[in-house]
Structure 1
Amino acid sequence: MQLSVFTVATPDLQPEELAAEAASAGLQGIEWRYARTSDEARRQAPSYWGNNLATIPVGASDEELARYGQAASSAGLRSISVTPYLRCGDLDAAEDVLAAARKLGASMIRLGVHGYDRTRPFGELYEEQRRYLAEAAALCRRYGVKGLVETHHGTIAPSASAAARLLEGLDPDTVGVLLDPGNMVHEGFENYRMGMELLGPYLAHVHMKNAAWTSSEREDGSVKWTSGWTGMRRGVVDWAQVAADLAAVGYAGWVGVEDFSGEHRSPEMLRQFAAYMRELLQEGAAR
């Protein structure tokens, strides 16, 4: 397995700084965040989803894209993904991202997935999602870049089995699943190995972060549970088990850090991630 970083998790580092720190930590790849940054956000302190300094702007020119590609290659890293925030059904936006990914030599993008908030029935969302993914898969094939569905709370793909159902019958060489156990703490938990086995050839990428549940008592005496981000070693996800399960199913792809805990500053977070993953992989090899 190879290690990468999704730049959403390192908002305070410019592309060149990020690449240098990632290489120093022992990572091999970068997943570039692709999003618009408002003028208001640019005036604020760096943040994950606001003023993120290592974000490719939507509609970036070839010259702008070259900066990100050069940042990675100068540090001996690969640009493995361009990761946007697409809406289900927006094929024009998906094609723009695919074009940017191909120019960077990236092999993956993230596709849009419908949210679920009880305002529309699942059946309608599912049918729309299936049509979009079939059309997006054709685009992905044309560009030679794989489109990923991420397991994510608040969407119609919170679990491995739900994501697999969306992709059923599509070519796993063109579309796949980004398995995110941290997201599945909030919603969508399944036995990790069962989910990986169920995904089979659709298991295309993995994100590493962690989350946990905390409780508070309401005035009526009932208990309210709330989920939130934690450090990589401190949450509900048993990453030793996840790593062992990935090895058991023969996964040899990328594991990318997407830590939102704020436990460490970005350079130290990258070092902690690389050290932890090396520890887990060595333990797995010794079993």
Structure 2
Amino acid sequence: MKLSVFTVATPDLTPEQLAQEAKAAGLQGIEWRYKEVPEGAKGEAPSFWRNNLCSISPFAGDEEKLRFKAAAESEGLVSLSVTPYVGVGDVAGTEEVLRTAKLIGASFIRVGIAGYTSASTSTYPVLFEQTRGFLQEAAELCRQYGVKGLVETHHNTIAASASAARRLLDGFDPDVLGVLYDPGNMVHEGYEQYRAGIEMLGPYLAHVHVKNAKWLPGERAAEGTIAWTSSWAPIREGVVNWKTVIDALKSVGYDGYLGVEDFSGQYDSRTMLKEFARYMHELNG
């Protein structure tokens, strides 16, 4: 298995710095965050979701976007993915992400799926059908551009688990649409026994994100119920047993990328990349 980094997790590094540090840590690929930095955030300290210095802006011209391709290639790394935050139904936005991915030579993009929480006003079946309709359009575009679209297992969406993601993609060509399997997200919602989930995904398993999370007890209600909350955790210390996950991936012959997306803040970006690579090599034996 090869190693990559999703640049949402390295907000304080420029593209060139990130490529240098990823290479030094022994990684092979980069997943570029595709999101503008809000004007009001540009004077702030770097952060995952606001002033992220390693993001491709949707408003950038081709010359600026090619900076990211050049940064990766200068260190002999692959631009693996362009990873956006495009919603369900945004066909034009999805096509622009695909055009960017094609421009910089990336293999994947993330495609939007419907959110779902206890406060959702639409029912799951309605959201499911809406998303399926959108994925039909996204799949045609992915085929046209020669870039694969990935549905991520993510809490507060209609694809929180491996089985839900697999059902969502039922009937689609796995060479065109696949699943980004994220066990760290599945701590918050969507846990299934790892090997079972990976086996369910079959040919749709396209990529894996590496991070971790934990559950913490909160206040006890009058009737005695404890309110639990989830939060991010260091990769070695959260609920996900990464040795178990990697063994499950090996059992199905997975030979793709493991992409780090560590939000714990345990290390600075440079150290995080090195520790991630060291740990993954330990687990891979």
TM range (shorter): over 0.9
**Aligned residue type for 1:165:** R
Partner of residue 29, structure 2? 29
**Aligned residue type for 2:65:** L
Gaps of 5+ in 2: none
**CA offsets 1:90-119 (integer angstroms, 9 cap, x no match):** 110000000000011100000001001231
Partner of residue 278, structure 2? 275
**Correspondences of 1:216-231 after superposition (within 5 Å):** 216-218=218-220, 220=222, 221-231=224-234
Give SS of 1:162's match. helix
**CA offsets 1:233-263 (integer angstroms, 9 cap, x no match):** 0000000000000000110101100000000
Partner of residue 266, structure 1? 269
CA RMSD of aligned residues (A): 0.8
| Large movers: runs of 4+ above 3 Å | none
TM-score (norm 1): 0.97
**CA offsets 1:185-212 (integer angstroms, 9 cap, x no match):** 0000001111111110000000000000
1:233 to 233, 236, 243: 236
Gaps of 5+ in 1: 283-287
Give SS of 1:47's match. coil
Give SS of 2:17's match. helix
Between 115-124 and 241-250, report the one with greater CA deviation.
115-124
Give, in angstroms, the shift of residue 218 of structure 1: 2.7
Partner of residue 285, structure 1? none
Q: Percent identity?
A: 60
Give SS of 1:241's match. helix
Contact 1:31/1:79 (<8 A) preserved: yes
Give SS of 2:229's match. strand
**Correspondences of 1:136-147 after superposition (within 5 Å):** 136-147=138-149
Contact 2:11/2:46 (<8 A) preserved: yes
Give SS of 1:224's match. strand
**Correspondences of 1:90-169 after superposition (within 5 Å):** 90-117=90-117, 118-169=120-171
CA distance in 2, matches of 1:217, 1:61: 50
CA distance in 1, matches of 2:83, 2:228: 31
Give, in angstroms, the shift of residue 43 of structure 1: 1.6
Give, in angstroms, the shift of residue 59 of structure 1: 3.0
Contact 1:59/1:96 (<8 A) preserved: no
**Correspondences of 1:131-210 after superposition (within 5 Å):** 131-210=133-212
Give, in angstroms, the shift of residue 64 of structure 1: 0.5
CA distance in 1, matches of 2:158, 2:205: 17
* CA distance 1:207–1:218, change in 2 (3 Å): same
**CA offsets 1:133-168 (integer angstroms, 9 cap, x no match):** 111011000000000000000000000000011110
Paired residues in the alignment total 282
